[in-house]
Amino acid sequence: MRAPSRRGLLVPLPAVTLLLAGAVPLLAGVFETTIRVPLRPKLAVTGRERISIAPFLVASRDSDPREARKISNTDLDAEFRRYLTKLLSKRTKMTFVAMPPDVKLPASSLREVAENAAFWRELGARTGADILLSGVVDFRVENTSGYRTEDYRSSIDGRNYTRQVLVESTGFTFDVSLLALDGRTGARLLLESFHDRKETPKRAADERAGLFENLFSLDGQLLGLFVVREREAKRYVFD
C-alpha cells in the first residue's frame, strides 16, 4: 500500500545567511555585504516523494520530418529521461519508481496529455508514485555558414587590409516543457518550460555531445523545481 502523500507541505527554508566577514566599507558607517537568500522549489514538495518518469513527446518527430532525420541516431525521449533520472537521483532524496515499459502516452499533443487526468490517476495507482513527470522535448541541430569581414596585416607590404572569411558553425538548441502530475488525482501540478542553445565555431558532427552540453546547462533550473536553492544578493549594512 502506498504511503500517504505529504504533498502540499513546503520544505522549511534555512535562515538567510549574512556574510559579514566579506563586508566592504563604502562610506563611513556603510558596508556592502552579500547575503544568501533561499529559494523555495516551484513544486510544493517535501523532497521525499515517490516519483516516476513517463515517456515524453518528441516535438520534431511530429512536426518536422527533416529535423527528425537530423537526430535519427539519438532517442531523445530515452536520453532525456535517463538524464533526468540521474540528476534527480543524485541531487534529491526522492524515491524513484520504475515506469512500466509498456506505457504509452494517450495523445500526441501536450495539452491533451496534460488534461487526461484519468490516464494519470490510473498510472499513479499502477506505479505507486506520488508525482508523475512527462512533457515535450525538442532538439535541433543547425549548421550555418557565411562570410564575415576581418582586418589583417599583409606580410608583403606591412599594410592593413580587409578580407572576407568563410565562417561555419553548428548550433545545438534544446527545449523541454516539463509536466508534473499528481499520482493520486491525475491533476496537473506544474508545467514549466526550459530552453538552452549552444553554438560551436565549426561544423560539429557529434549531436549527442551537443545535446548533453545543453542538458548540463539546465541542471540548476531543473533542480529548482524540486529542491531549495540559494541565490546571492548584495545588501547594505549601516553601522
Alpha helices, DSSP H, located in 75-206: 76-91, 110-115, 117-127
Instruction: Return the domain boundaries, the chain.
Output: 45-223
Secondary structure (3-state) at 147? strand
Residue 14's CB is within 10 A of a number of other CB atoms, namely 10
Alpha helices, DSSP H, located in the chain: 59-63, 65-70, 76-91, 110-115, 117-127, 207-217, 219-223
DSSP string, 39-84: E--SS---S--EEEEEEEEEHHHHH-HHHHHHTTT--HHHHHHHHH
Q: Which CATH class is domain 45-223?
A: alpha beta
Could you read off the pLDDT tens digit of each residue along the chain, which spans 239 residues? Answer: 444 444 444 444 444 444 444 555 555 667 677 766 667 888 988 889 999 999 999 997 544 455 545 555 678 999 999 999 999 999 999 999 999 999 999 999 999 999 999 999 999 999 999 999 999 999 988 877 766 677 878 888 888 888 777 667 788 899 999 999 999 999 999 999 999 998 887 766 678 888 989 999 999 999 999 987 666 667 666 66
Q: Say what the pLDDT of residue 159 is.
A: 83
pTM comes to: 0.71
Q: Which residues pair with 174 in a beta bridge?
A: 139, 196
Secondary structure (3-state) at 98? coil
Q: Say what the pLDDT of residue 66 is.
A: 55
Q: Say what the pLDDT of residue 71 is.
A: 54
